[in-house]
Amino acid sequence: MMFIFGKINLESEQSQFMEQSTILLPVLIFIAVILASIGVWIYVAQIAQEPVPITVVRNNQKIAKQAEPSVTTQTEPEEQIQSEDETVDWQTYRNKEYGFEFRYPNDFLWQDNIEIVAVQNYDAANFGQTLPCVAPYSGEKISSQDNIYWRCQFDDGAAGSTYRNYEYVGLSGDSCFALKFVVRYTHCGVYGSSDEPAYQQCEIDNQQKDETIKTIESTFVCI
C-alpha cells in the first residue's frame, strides 16, 4: 500500500511540472522575441548614424572614401539682388534748346566744364554718313537711345598728363549741335617702369575712365 501511494504522488508531481512547463515556454519565447526586436532596432539605429562609404574612381581604380556626416541646416530664402544704377548720383546736363541731356560723374570732367560748340561741316540729310568732325579731331559714329551721334576727340599733352578733348556732335531736327568737355588722363610713365604698382594702378585708372566715357554715352537721350 505504501508503494502504491508513493507512485500516485510521483505521477501527480510530474503532471504539475508538465503543466508549469507548458505555461512557462510561451512566456520565455515571448521574452526572447522582445529582446531580439530590441537588439535589431539598436543595430539599425547605429547603422543609420554611420557615414556611408563613397566609391571614388581615381586612375581607373576604385577607392572607398568615408563620407562626411551630413548636417542639415535651415537656409533662409535667397534675397533678390538688384543691380544698382551707377549713374543715380551723377550730375545731369540738360539742354532745352537742342532737346537732349546726359549724365556724368562728379569731378570727372576737367574743370567741370561743358561747352556748346557750333558745327558747320554737316549734312542733315546724310548725317549718319557725313563725318562732321573737323581736324585735329578724329571721329567715330556711335548710337545711343536710338539716336546717332559722332564722337570727335583729340589729345593735348602737358606736365605729365593727357587732356583728351571729347566733342559729341548730334542732330536736332535740321540743326546740328556739338558739346565739348575735357577729361584728364595721367601719363603712367611718371610712376617709373611698368612693373611698379603705382604705374599699374595708373593704367587701371585710365582704363576705368574709358569705361566711364562709354557709360556717359549710354545716357545721351532726347527730351
pLDDT, one tens digit for every residue, the chain (223 residues): 443 444 445 455 555 656 665 666 677 787 877 887 787 667 666 665 655 555 544 444 544 555 454 444 454 444 444 446 888 999 999 988 888 899 999 999 999 899 998 777 788 888 888 888 888 999 999 887 678 889 999 999 888 899 999 999 988 777 788 899 999 999 999 999 999 999 999 999 999 999 999 999 999 887 7
Report yes or no: 223 and 99 within 8 Å, Cβ to Cβ.
Answer: yes
Question: Please, what are the domains in the chain?
Answer: 2-66 (no CATH), 91-222 (3.40.1000)
Report yes or no: 182 and 158 within 8 Å, Cβ to Cβ.
Answer: no
Cis peptide before 136 (omega within 30 of 0): yes
Give the pLDDT confidence score for residue 163 in this predicted structure. 96
Q: pTM (2 decimals)? A: 0.60
Quick one: which of 124, 120, 145 has its CA closest to 133?
120
- How far apart, in whole angstroms, are the C-alpha atoms of residue 160 and residue 186? 6
Give the pLDDT confidence score for residue 73 in this predicted structure. 46
Give the pLDDT confidence score for residue 194 in this predicted structure. 92
- How far apart, in whole angstroms, are the C-alpha atoms of residue 149 and residue 6? 132
Give the pLDDT confidence score for residue 177 in this predicted structure. 84
Give the pLDDT confidence score for residue 10 in this predicted structure. 47
Question: How many H helices and E strands in the chain?
Answer: 2, 10
Give the pLDDT confidence score for residue 106 in this predicted structure. 93
Report yes or no: 212 and 191 within 8 Å, Cβ to Cβ.
Answer: no
* Residue 133 neighbours by CB under 8 Å, 6+ apart: 139, 150, 152, 167, 169
